[in-house]
Structure 1
């Protein structure tokens, strides 16, 4: 080959001769690179698409709700220093009747200016037009809701608005940056079939909800460089007399918070999971080079005799590691692009961001390539330096034999029940502890990766069990437009199919502990509540105390408080009292950062008669249809959420996302095990070819020789799998902690079945890889092998 040095020609020949092992290492490198490219590339796609969407359609910086404020209050909001643009609105929940849908559906209806488009949170219109001012029943509906229910422009849909049933005509289909992730009342996952966003002219909403000259929602933007926290405080001061519930920054806006949470998960994935693959690849490269150098001692001596320097020989073996890693990097780029495209399509269905198309992230390519090549150099450096240190005279001689001194191993080998092949297996494993440890690490890493990803299924089962059955024993949740007295509960109890009813009240509040402060919702529950329960960390039911407050563990961590500490509660409703409350218990809640109080105590603190903002209902399954029909037109009800529909939506969403992701990781985890086992088997066959051929000449059968070769790997796997299970549980804790947010946290639950599935995947992939090597045992040329010089 012209232009190539003798060392380069040798390098190419070595790679071709060891192509099987090079491919095994390349696959592992490719998997690690692919996950990093997929995670960072998808993160870049989400971030760039979201930011462009926010900027183009003017997503607001601050949001707040109010019970009822006159339009004159808007002038005082505009006068706040730093406020750039302000838009007042009317926002209400309505109950829907959808053709061919049995369950009651909900929509959040948002006002549009009487003419033109919104100033902030503008609509991207996919089809149709804006409603006419003179046509009060025309609406625009969200695209996801339209697709889920097969609705088009020109169709009509019935909505209960302030107790009156109205037929609304769809004239447009669109989306807004305010509702990238749209959640209905009481929902954990988006349900596009049963919840949508509607937009209607303001004049029509003012008439429908008796809000002439008033508003109940405000969004605004602040000038660059302005302290948003100071603006929020002043907005709260202006709106407090009108029942303001507290302004929030864009980062706390529900839709944006969910997108941010998903982006944080991608960052966590890019940091943790590829590191496992690259660490395994470094160990394998070290093993391969060590073996290669041992077999090439004479060649190294000749190179030195011909004048090649230590630097040139070191660089030669480093190039071997870099070459096989570079192939894995390129394959990882291609696989990463495929996975990124798949995940981007999944996100496009979950997050309604226009033009969400995958982008190539140059930083992801650079970082993944640098990490892969860095791990390859780290794994090969000691072996390459060892080769360079060999003197010509030393290198020309065979490597000194292993010192087979007597030790504690002889007591095991002398056991009579051990046959000779098994003794050979044990002797070889213990004579090369470093190599055995490297193979153990590879198998354990594969199991750990699988356990740390597959545990998500167990976590999901735990979340569903707690959220839908243990803590929420109700069949339906009712939300009122405004607080109602306890007679509303009696009215609900008389509806068809209602077996029992319990009131609930949700109050926005700010909790302070020292210099820490968090904006939360405090839920008031009856002392004897049975339809909404709370659980301690050990799974026991916790009674609502008559005094004090119960915090979720996530909220307690954020405030740095525990049982017995005091928190200051600033209630943002009614008389807006400020009280010090003792923390009476800390409970486990996987979604949000809730706090709980006794309902009667809450109403007393607010200096109000018995008041509720919603109710939980237990229904007779045989009369549920009658209940759904009668509840739709009840006055004062803003939303109805059915537990059965929420469970279906939860499972359907997970099937489209989590299950696909876990399947990808299962395949990739199996690739680690296959690569480790194949590499170990090939090295063992290369090293012991003469020994195995000698055994065949002495009368050992193919099966016995194969047993000796595979027995080592099987024993390593049997020891490595339990170690990997322990490591996987630890890695699952690390991932769960890194992914925890204010919106939700993942419980670390690893069932024995998950450990079994991870072990089976590793054993299956290991067996397939080993069988490729075992075939070579049958084709050993006994004469040629025995003539080979040791």
Structure 2
């Protein structure tokens, strides 16, 4: 072993506590990167494997003549085409009434496109026309098993069907009714798969949907979509925009962004800590460096020696992080796919990510060591051997602090030293800044999502429940139910908005003019009235269609009519992107329905379970949805998200503590002579340690304003990664967020003083004084 290598290992052992702190920071950064990036790849592969195995449609079309549209898909080069019937009738499951979905499948064999995976029971059979498959999420929500029965509301009343099997579908990995209804009460939506011929009998019509799977070798989704529209399709949806897939992709895209941003914070902090550690080592060894250079040691060898120290620290943390990251990758993937019920879980070994993680660790160590190594190479031997350093006269800050006679001497010393070692102070400040970025980005997402949900389901949507009744049923029964304060008729249907050559599929919701059940908040923050003529639209419509307020928007609905309406305003709504109009306009667009929809509001203090039972018993009521159950379901869905935020806040405190601990430890070593002199002069340990603590807390405090600003900017950037026409999140930080984040970093800094106090206590005063006298 070479002498320089032995010296490197000896030096690292001498500062093993600081080396471990830097290594842990590198480990966290590398582990976060490998785990999050690996899980992202595994999840993407899991989705793709399921989509390919079940032949998930690349393009789906509704409206028009299904046979003509199917022929157009084949002419456009589709590898497989399926026509089917899909309807959203009321369902009754174990006494719960809801608006569900029934999808027609061929009996006896799987469809060529959008097949299902039967995980329990048997597939559909022509010999059992009343046998159905229930989608996995609904089966879990309602506790359904093979042999149970549910009821479907048809044109002839309630029809009982029997569950033949439990199915998983690529269309409903995330159980979304539509792009505008991706978050909802799980007890208010269920999907059944039934014999196609039976579904046609229940609806009294024919197929209304065409699904096409393209040849992956020469797939052209845009060209195929254009062909289907020319063939008469009213709404054409590419796979990337399908409700379930789009929701999952939105989540994955945000996950992908965070898999780079958060690890980068830790690796940057590790580079800073490594720099502080090795800069101190070079300063402490100036006389040794000078002696070696005077004896003929080459500058390049000195540079390589100190780079080697940084490289070993980085590789030490990188190897540990790679081991943790590889294990965490599989755990995260399985937890995610298990929570969502993804049929296939793909966990692969990603050696490329491990190599990148190790390269990150090595790069962090080398970047932290680069400046100290170059400093060592520029050392002048004669000055270094005499241990001469250029004396600098006191600066303006030192003179100002010296005049603060009202402060104790120890406090003046601490304040003077803040700018006496500017690099050390900047390192401490940067540690505080990085910690605040991590903490505020996490807290910002937490408070912003909570505020967005409160805005959507507390301020905008004002109803307590939605009730669906059969056509011909009067709403007088609802008014007579004790506990109901108000009832309003509503109408909802799928439409396609067109402007120029662009289209956007969404839902149209209609209310009475002057509605009390829904409020309309403009993008400027003002509350708008519902116009008697024209429509209001979610803000994303303007981006999707390139439309502005005052333009004419063409609306069409499958099975309905096409009308033109003026866009009267753009709305700020956090969840979904819908169109809103008065009932008169909606009646011109939407087709006739076999059910009526009512929004109801309760009196204060009523029992919601009792209201569900009383309303569901009314004659003609075919579905009931509790609006408050939506928020409970959303909080359940976001459970993993809240856990992620809590972990990030904890890691932010660790990051701040690690960087500040290293700078504190180096500070003690740098000032060994000064601290020993104070102790020899009889200065109490408490006051000596207090001087160090004051200096480091002051340096941390200087970094707080920069960290708070950077944290707010980072929180805004992270939220943007989750914003689309599915969700719209504006950064909202509660009044306590900034003070709490700053206080947390200061507490972490204060706790990191404890090792420094121990170091001061263990100072060998006699040895230091002896060495100083020599």
**TM-score between both structures, scaled by the size of structure 2:** 0.91
Match of 1:61? 58
Counterpart secondary structure, 2:697: helix
User: In the aligned structure 1, how far is the partner of 2:772 from the partner of 2:110?
Assistant: 86
What are the superposed Cα offsets for residues 289-343 of structure 1, whole Å, 9 maximum, x if unpaired?
Answer: 2111111112222332444322221111111111111111122223323443443
Tell me the residue number matched to 2:579: 595
User: Residue 689 of structure 1: CA displacement?
Assistant: 1.5
Residues 101-140 of structure 1: pairs in structure 2 closer than 5 A? 103-140=96-133
- Taking a change above 3 Å as real, the CA distance of residues 609 and 572 of structure 1, as seen in their structure-2 partners, is closer
Number of the residue aligned with 2:207: 215
Tell me the CA shift for residue 587 of structure 1: 2.2
The CA deviation at 1:626 is 5.6
**Is residue 2:186 matched to residue 1:199?**
no
Matches within 5 A, 1:23-422: 23-66=20-63, 73=68, 76-77=71-72, 79-99=74-94, 103-162=96-155, 164-184=157-177, 187-189=181-183, 191-192=185-186, 194-211=188-205, 214-223=206-215, 224-240=217-233, 245-422=234-411
Q: Say yes or no: does 1:536 pair with 2:522.
A: yes
Render the CA deviation track for 1:99-150: whole Å, top value 9, x for unaligned: 4xx7534532222202222221111121211133222222222223323333
Residue 545 (structure 1) aligned to one of 508, 531, 537:
531
Q: Distance in 2 between matches of 1:567 and 1:670?
A: 53
Aligned mates of 1:480, 1:235 — CA distance in 2: 35
Task: Please give the secondary structure, in 2, of the residue aligned with 1:154.
Answer: coil
Shift in Å, 1:433: 2.0
1:489 & 1:445 partners in 2: Cα distance? 62
Quote the Cα distance in structure 1 between the aligned partners of 2:590 and 2:686.
Answer: 85
Q: Would the aligned equivalents of 2:460 and 2:519 in 1 still touch at CA under 8 Å? A: yes
Within the alignment, does 1:477 sit opposite 2:466 as a pair? yes
Inter-partner Cα distance in structure 1 for 2:502 and 2:71: 29
Do 1:550 and 1:586's aligned partners in 2 also have CA atoms closer than 8 Å? yes
Distance in 2, matches of 1:294 and 1:75, equals: 77
Gaps of 5+ in 1: none
The answer (yes or no) to whether the contact 2:272–2:368 under 8 Å persists in 1 is yes
Q: Aligned pair 1:727/2:726, yes or no?
A: no
CA distance in 1, matches of 2:711, 2:552: 38
CA contact under 8 A between 1:181 and 1:190: conserved in structure 2? no
Does residue 14 of structure 2 align to residue 14 of structure 1?
Answer: no
Name the structure 1 match of 2:679. 696
Residues 416-454 of structure 1: per-residue CA shift (max 9 Å, x gap): 221000010011112122321221111121012101112
Between the aligned partners of 1:480 and 1:490, the Cα distance in structure 2 is 8
Q: How many angstroms does 1:732 deviate by?
A: 0.5
Which whole-Å CA distance do the structure 1 matches of 2:42 and 2:469 have between them? 39
Q: Which residue of 2 aligns with 1:770?
A: 753
CA separation of 1:162 and 1:714: change in aligned 2, threshold 3 A: farther
SS at match of 1:313: helix
**Residue pair 1:187, 1:646 contacting (<8 A) in 2 also:** no
Relative to structure 1, the CA distance from residue 65 to residue 353 in structure 2 (aligned partners, 3 Å threshold; closer, same or farther) is same
Secondary structure class of the residue paired with 2:396: coil
Q: For each residue in 1:547-605, what CA deviation from the matched residue of structure 2 results, as whole angstroms up to 9, or x when unmatched?
A: 444333333344455545x3543534567546473x4333211122333334434546x
Q: Give the Å deviation of 1:700.
A: 0.9
Tell me the SS of whatever aligns to 2:497.
strand
When structure 1 is superposed on structure 2, of 739-748 and 536-545 the one drifting more is 536-545
SS across alignment from 2:515: coil
- SS, match of residue 355 in structure 1: coil
Alignment of 1:499-510 (within 5 A): 499-510=486-497
Q: Which position in structure 1 is the counterpart of 2:638?
A: 654
C-alpha offsets along residues 684-706 of structure 1, whole Å, 9 cap, x if unaligned?
11011221111112121111011
Hey, what's the Cα distance between the residues in 1 that align with 2:161 and 2:595?
A: 30
Are the aligned partners of 1:552 and 1:586 in contact in 2 as well (CA < 8 Å)? yes
For 1:443 and 1:163, locate their aligned partners in 2 and report how far apart those are by CA, in whole Å: 68
- CA drift at 1:65: 2.9
Tell me if structure 1 keeps the 8 A contact 2:135–2:168. Answer: yes
- How far did residue 28 of structure 1 move? 1.5
Determine if contact 2:175/2:182 at 8 Å carries over to the other structure.
no
| Segment drifting more, 423-432 vs 147-156 | 147-156
Deviations 1:606-650 (A, max 9, x none): 49999997443324545864655655887696x543212112111
Question: When the two structures are aligned, how many residues end up with a matched partner?
Answer: 767
- Measured after TM superposition, the shift of residue 239 of structure 1 is 4.4
- Runs of 5+ in structure 2 lacking a partner? none
SS at match of 2:673: helix
> For residues 699-721 of structure 1, what are the alpha-carbon distances to aligned partners after superposition, in whole Å with 9 as ceiling and x for unaligned?
21111011011111122233333
Summarize deviations over 1:649-687 as a string: whole Å, max 9, x none: 1112222x1121112212211111111111111011101
Q: Name the stretch that deviates more: 409-418 or 9-18.
A: 409-418
Deviation (angstroms), 1:500 = 1.2
Structure 1 residues 494 and 349: CA distance shift in structure 2, 3 A: farther
**Alpha-carbon distance in 2 for matches of 1:547, 1:567:** 12
Name the CA shift for 1:156/1:103 in 2 (closer, same or farther; >3 Å).
closer
Q: Aligned with 2:207: secondary structure?
A: strand
Q: In the alignment, does 2:730 pair up with 1:747?
A: yes
| Aligned equivalents of 1:75, 1:324: Cα separation in 2 | 63
